[in-house]
Structure 1
Amino acid sequence: MTPEEARDRFAAARVARLATVSAEGVPHLVPVTFAVRGDVVVFAVDHKPKSSVALRRLRNIAENPAVCFLADGYDEDWSRLWWARADGVAQVLPPGSEPVSWLVAKYSQYAQRPPEHAVVVTEIHTWRGWTGS
């Protein structure tokens, strides 16, 4: 899969996994909803239930902004398997930053209640992917 194909496959996915690492080297992996524009991935802390909005993913990004996203598709027909990965450098923006509109455009669930907390923008430097066919 070319980098462009990986980006397109990733952008079309509904959910991805975000990997961050703390300053102590402890990995953290969580699912995120996201949107893509060019080589930029955005996600936000939204209203879905959480123990706090001071999330480990945000602390990890503040300590170590290198992140990795993975989107994938599984099928019992293994020729239809695929994954797409985006590696980049993340930055936490204040609530209400402009890229929230990207999320609202992708997810109808945000139309009535856009994310109100921190927004994370990641400049992607490497797109990789694989497909079983």
Structure 2
Amino acid sequence: MRLSGLEARKRFAAARVARLATTGVDGQPLVVPVTFALEAVGESDGDGDPGDGARRGGIRAATVVTVVDHKPKSTRTGLRRLRDIRDNPLVSLLVDHYDDDWARLWWARADGKARIVEAGDPRHAAAVAALTARYPQYQQVPPTGPAIVVAVTRWSGWSYADSPGAIRTTPGPPRPREF
């Protein structure tokens, strides 16, 4: 079943990792896992029509931020995701929940326009602070690379189950495998 913009955003916010999808000038897609934080910036219901938030009960639109961190990479400033965003700022971020009980499957996506913010910019410091608050791993070594700031224009998602009670947004114990 299709998720409302509000429900997609809630599930997205509860996830711990997202996949960032970019496209280069050559049309080649790239998908990479990223840590992220959400920052509220205004009123919208998140379904792509920013003017109708009040009619549908409204949720706060958001900016999704991620910062290139210290984990090993071939390069920190020449990363393909950064080149792609400079060439084509339209991106998607996807989170999902997989369970062997397929009635618990769901995904949520944030589509938007990204920009790169370098260290020294106050916006960079805010992104680092948001990530450090969300992930204890960054408290010892905060990320220092370029920040990717995504202004979300649309929230969407899907869930197998109709009932929100059937959905678990935090990981549970692994299910035993049958062979």
Q: Shorter-normalised TM-score: what interval?
A: over 0.9
Structure having the higher strand fraction is 1
> Which residue of 104, 126, 129 maps to 2:132?
104
The answer for the alignment partner of 1:65 in structure 2 is 89
Q: Which amino acid aligns with 2:134?
A: K
> What's the CA shift for 1:95?
2.0
> Which residue of 64, 67, 74 maps to 1:41?
64
CA distance in 2, matches of 1:127, 1:22: 23
Q: Which has the larger radius of gyration?
A: 2
CA distance in 1, matches of 2:74, 2:119: 18
Number of residue pairs aligned between Structure 1 and Structure 2: 133
CA distance in 1, matches of 2:26, 2:101: 40
> What's the CA shift for 1:119?
0.5
Which range moves more in the overlay, 64-73 or 87-96? 87-96
- The alignment status of 1:6 with 2:29, answered yes or no, reads no
CA distance in 2, matches of 1:122, 1:75: 29
> Which residue of 139, 143, 152 maps to 1:115?
143
> What's the CA shift for 1:30?
0.5
TM-score by length of 1: 0.97
- The alignment status of 1:50 with 2:73, answered yes or no, reads yes
Tell me the SS of whatever aligns to 2:84.
helix
TM-score by length of 2: 0.73
Q: Which runs of 4+ in 1 moved over 2 A?
A: none
CA distance in 2, matches of 1:37, 1:2: 19
> Which residue of 23, 28, 44 maps to 2:25?
23
- The alignment status of 1:80 with 2:104, answered yes or no, reads yes
Deviations along 1:32-54, whole A, 9 cap, x unmatched? 11011121000010000101112
Q: Which amino acid aligns with 1:128?
A: S
Structure 1: 5+ residue stretches without partners: none
